[in-house]
Amino acid sequence: MPIKSAAIIGAGIAGLTAALALARRGIPSTIFEQAEALTEVGAGLQLSPNATHILDALGVLDALVPIWLEPKEIRLVSGSSLRAIASVPSGSFAKARWGAPYGTVHRATLQRVLLGAVTANPLCTLHLGRHLDTTSRLAFDAITGVEADLVIGADGVWSKARALVLGAPSPGFSGNIAWRFTIPEALAPSILDRTSVTAFLGSSAHLVCYPIRENAAFNIVANTSGSSASHDWDTTGTEAQQAHLLRRFSGWNATIRKMLEQQEQATFWPLYEAGAGRWHNGKDVVLIGDAAHAMMPFAAQGAAMAIEDAFELAGMVASRPLPEALELFERHRTPRIARLRQRAAFNQFAYHARGPVRLARDLVLSMRPPQSLAADLDWIYGYRAIG
């Protein structure tokens, strides 16, 4: 029998999308979030067409389009010389090739739009300030007062729901850190493109920059190696950590260096990823998004994979007996996640290349036309989730 109700742990992108996707199938859900309020946490997001076509199907894309930015292209640029290396067209090209738009938006904006749709939907119920630290499904039901057919763990890389799944993945530090900050557009240096996503590449580090239109600001993420210090997303780096960052960007363009030196309040995010493990318990609990497969952000697909997970899970549990649906969900999703992990690892290697490898990278990329590079992304951006 398909499920009749679900309990969702976590009111982030994965959890809210899951609630809407279930409601689209006529299945009511109750969402439990430990935070007392859904505040503006995190930074910018890139939403590629494989995710935005789902948001369109869920009826929330129209609320994003007037306020987000659809970049004209995705650019790769030398962090030292500022020479253009390669680019992939986006904007109208993305809609024509992949059937949906590519947009940049603040994470809080997407969460707010999803939350608005959830609160307006009579099949969705949200409870804030609910701590669910338990290893027993019976105890979970007792705490929540809800006896749902399915519990969906959508509570991120530090998931509590993993305790309900024997053999679930464990998070581990990746050896990488992300420094995140925003710059008001009026104060941003002229080297930052106001219409595109730009990745500045250099030895052992790269810098991703793109406008957040609704905030009139640039989202900046500096990625490099580092040590683990905190599980928080909003920890200001120490002087030693900031010095480490600047050392990684030695030899870069002076304007980029100055921009980094001025960011005393940049947040320090150690990047954790989930290892191998089961995503479900075989009967009534399943993990989605970062709870199941937190990965490195070097393919810009973290939010998109959470959205895909939620949408495809809803379709499967609405049309099949639950144990069969959970097994199919994991079997269907794991190859795509594995391939994206490989792509992210390749991007990190290519972006951080030095010496002869860097020269070869630049030569190969410069010889390929933009549409050829776009074709390499068809399997990511052209994916159509089963829902």
pLDDT confidence bin for 8, thresholds 50/70/90: very high
- Residue in the structure block whose two tokens are 């930074």: 43
Handedness of CA 79, 83, 86, 92 (dihedral sign): positive
Distance of CA 29 to the CA centre of its chain: 23
Share of the chain above pLDDT 70, in %: 95
Count CA atoms within 13 Å of residue 320 on its CB side.
16
For the segment 299-312, what is each residue's pLDDT rounded down to a tens digit?
999 999 999 999 99
| The one-letter amino acid at 195 | T
DSSP 8-state symbol, 336: H
Task: Quote the CA–CA distance of 120 and 143 in Å, as a whole number.
Answer: 26
For the segment 25-83, what is each residue's pLDDT rounded down to a tens digit?
999 999 998 877 776 666 789 999 999 999 999 999 999 999 999 999 999 999 999 99
Say if residues 251 and 116 touch (Cβ distance below 8 Å): no
For the segment 261-298, what is each residue's pLDDT rounded down to a tens digit?
888 777 888 899 999 999 999 999 999 999 999 999 99
Q: What integer pLDDT is reported at residue 29 of this predicted model? A: 96
* Residue-range domain boundaries for the chain: 6-70+103-171+273-349
Q: What integer pLDDT is reported at residue 228 of this predicted model? A: 60
Q: What integer pLDDT is reported at residue 266 of this predicted model? A: 79
Matching CATH number, 6-70+103-171+273-349, of 3.90.320.10, 1.10.8.420, 3.20.20.450, 3.50.50.60: 3.50.50.60
Task: Tell me, yes or no, if the pTM score tops 0.85.
Answer: yes
Cα separation values, 196 from 82, 88, 103, 219, Å: 15, 10, 10, 12
Say if residues 135 and 143 touch (Cβ distance below 8 Å): no
What residues have CB less than 8 Å from 94, skipping those under 6 apart? 49, 70, 100, 101, 102, 381
For the segment 140-190, what is each residue's pLDDT rounded down to a tens digit?
777 777 788 999 999 999 999 999 999 999 999 988 888 888 999 999 999
Q: What is the largest CA-CA distance in the chain?
A: 63
